[in-house]
Amino acid sequence: MAQQAYATETDEGVSDDERPGSRLHRLTGRLLGGWRGDPRIWRRGIVLAVLALLLALVMLLHSRIPNTVGNLGSLTETFLPWFGLLVPVLLVLGLVRRSATALIAVLLPAIVWLNLFGGLLTDKAGTGGDLVVATHNVNADNTDPSGTARAVAASGADVLALEELKASEVGTYEKALASTYAYHSVQGTVGLWSKYPLSSVAAVDIKLGWTRAMRATVATPSGDVAVYVAHLPSVRVKMNAGFTARQRDKSADALGEAIADEKLDRKILLGDLNGTMNDRALNAVTSQMRSTQGAAGSGFGFSWPASFPMARIDQIMVQGVDPVSSWTLPATGSDHLPVAARVDLAASGS
């Protein structure tokens, strides 16, 4: 009786409309009320179901989309993760249309997207590691090169790669980084700064006619590591897959050959590859190396553009090295975000 009296007292003055349970019940009733006994739920939403099927096919067969027109295949692969945003849109439209057919069809692109990118939603970062590396496209038009250099040096990176170095600003970067890094080398528009000695430094020919890639041996406490720095050409959308798209692909193949010919077992690639791990144009590189973000990161790690990152085109990739963690750094004066990773050299052996 006491419990009953208490319930009556606490409910007194509260209308049915104000009770949370009642509101949820009415909302559910509005959404589902028109579904019961309505045979049209299977006939409605056929167009939505077809769109869901097409979305699933695009994501599943993205490697079959040709590059012969406008470099469409690589562009699709660059922004492939964002296709997942269409799934909730189709879901809502299916609910509005009260179409069971559409809702069932939406499961297909949802499953495909989760199969492709679900692993990136979990935090795979670990602890430990004995080498921190970072890379940053500093942007040739950067108005604050000194501040950018100080910001990336503050990341704690033992080895730092910079791309798109403007010749007139190289001295500025060298001065700003001198107190943190005892060793460095600049080759063309790319440079490598290290707390450990560098040797066998050389430009890498990626078939551009000017230097945008380099290689060096870094003598870490855990042994020698081959470090590559590269800035592949950007992709321009042109009918018939314009020159710059073909040039990027040709450069990627040349970079892949150089890495495959490397004598050292432990290799690290740092740079702006102007493509994502899904882009088939980078197969010569991605087929033999793994991304630190995919192996030890949290989320997608988008790095470009810095104002609203939509794609990870700045990469840290390894072979014969164990990734421990991977992350993006705060924005600088560049249109790219710096990216960093911690790797374990000792566990991989020599």
pLDDT reported for residue 20: 52
User: Which range (19-23, 104-108, 276-280) has the least confidence?
Assistant: 19-23
Question: How high does pLDDT run on average in the chain?
Answer: 89
CA separation for the pair 79, 139 (Å, rounded): 22
Mean pLDDT of 252-279: 96
User: Which range (16-30, 57-71, 112-126, 327-341) has the least confidence?
Assistant: 16-30
Query: Does the pLDDT at position 4 exceed 90?
Result: no
Query: Does the pLDDT at position 338 exceed 70?
Result: yes
CA separation for the pair 252, 237 (Å, rounded): 18
CA-nearest of 110, 112, 114, 102 to 51 is: 102
Q: Please, which pLDDT band fits residue 243 given cuts at 50, 70 and 90?
A: very low
Sign of the C-alpha dihedral, residues 342, 344, 348, 350?
positive
CA separation for the pair 317, 339 (Å, rounded): 11
Report yes or no: 279 and 256 within 8 Å, Cβ to Cβ: no
Residue 320, C-beta contacts closer than 8 angstroms, at least 6 positions apart: 264, 265, 266, 267, 348
pLDDT tens for 42-92 read 888 999 999 999 999 999 999 999 887 777 888 899 999 999 999 999 999
Instruction: Supply 283's token pair.
Output: 């197969």
Q: Please, which pLDDT band fits residue 146 given cuts at 50, 70 and 90?
A: very high
Query: Does the pLDDT at position 339 exceed 90?
Result: yes
Q: Please, which pLDDT band fits residue 195 given cuts at 50, 70 and 90?
A: very high
CB burial readout 134-150, b (16+ within 10 A) else e: bbbbbbeebeebeebbe
End-to-end CA distance of the chain: give it in Å, rounded: 78
Task: Please state the domain extents for the chain.
Answer: 34-120, 124-348
CA atoms within 13 A on the CB side of 10: 7
Quote the CATH superfamily of domain 124-348.
Answer: Endonuclease/exonuclease/phosphatase (3.60.10.10)
Mean pLDDT of 16-35: 55
User: Which range (45-54, 160-169, 232-241) has the least confidence?
Assistant: 232-241
Query: Which has more pLDDT, 145 or 241?
Result: 145
CA separation for the pair 74, 295 (Å, rounded): 22
pLDDT tens for 295-311 read 999 999 999 999 999 99
No. of H helices and E strands in the chain? 11, 12
Q: Please, which pLDDT band fits residue 29 given cuts at 50, 70 and 90?
A: low
Query: Does the pLDDT at position 145 exceed 80?
Result: yes
Residues, the chain, total?
A: 350
